[in-house]
Amino acid sequence: MNKALTVASILILYVMMSGCSCGMLKSKNQLNGSVATAHYTSVPLQLDGKLDDAIWQNAQVYSLNLPQDKLNSGMSLQGQGKVQFAWDNDFFYIAASFQDSDIIAQGKEDNMYHYQYGDLCEVFLKPANESYYWELYVTPAGKKTSFFYPSRGYSGLPSCIDDYKCNLKVAAQCQGTLNNWHDKDISWTAEMAMPIKDLQAYGAQFIYKASWKILVGRYNYSRYLDNVELSMAPQISKTRYDLYEEYADLELVR
């Protein structure tokens, strides 16, 4: 009898431990194990910010969310957003759509620190096995900025923007009025096209089954918010966009 109880107790303990392990893995995967799929298109995109190309009608949609630390503090996302990805032989494409009741973009030139000037979509791209990465911007006004960091240890150095040049292309459309806090807007959309030759300039290959990491971040300024709202896809644990250990794996599909 005692032996049977002992065996049963061991089995129950094993099941409980297995259940806990699965729960821990699931929680971890929500932060670190996500996959962002980019499908190949044989038809070049018309980069106009309208998101009406055929590829965007079928591409996987990824919703933005607040980082886990903000959710843990009781905050909830006010401005919904979604992103999609595609690629062809020449470009990696990003489409973004953001609900926005007050569209703001006060930066008037390219290659500005646009997160200081209004609403922004940021894309972070990193070869999985390299230290270097890109930070790419598009604003509702159709302005752009490109940073290249040899490593996270270069963050904040002026050379990462002043000395870097690439052929990033962007376009945006506003469903509302830009820089007018007196009215209420609806949304803004944007497209980005990063040349693959620029992504491959330092040795990493951007091809089918290549190993890359990605995160899309958003700055949402608004008359209708108490503070600037930062959201992202995938969701990460902290309000820190350079936390590339938790970026999604970018899957290039043909």
Residue range 205-236, pLDDT digits in tens: 999 999 999 999 999 999 999 999 999 999 99
Ranges of H-type helices in 49-145: 54-58, 68-72
Same domain, 104 and 28: no
Segment holding 10, helix H or strand E: helix 2-32
When divided into structural domains, the chain yields a total of 2
Q: Cα dist. 79→88, 141, 232 in Å?
A: 31, 18, 11
Q: Which of 244, 245, 240 is nearest to 66 (CA)?
A: 240
Same domain, 10 and 55: no
Same domain, 219 and 156: yes
Contacts for 107 with CB less than 8 Å, ≥ 6 apart = 114, 116, 117, 118, 139, 141, 143
Low-confidence ranges of the chain (pLDDT < 70): 1-33
Residue with tokens 């270069």: 154
pLDDT of residue 242: 94
Q: Tell me how far apart the alpha carbons of residues 24 and 182 are, in angstroms, rounded to a whole number.
A: 47
pLDDT of residue 5: 42
Same domain, 19 and 107: no
Q: Which residues form the domain of 23?
A: 1-32
pLDDT of residue 24: 29
pLDDT of residue 243: 95
Same domain, 131 and 58: yes
Residue with tokens 């990460």: 236
Same domain, 18 and 46: no
Same domain, 161 and 195: yes
pLDDT of residue 17: 37
pLDDT of residue 87: 98
pLDDT of residue 2: 45
pTM here is 0.86
Q: Domain with 43 in it: what CATH number?
A: 2.60.40.1190
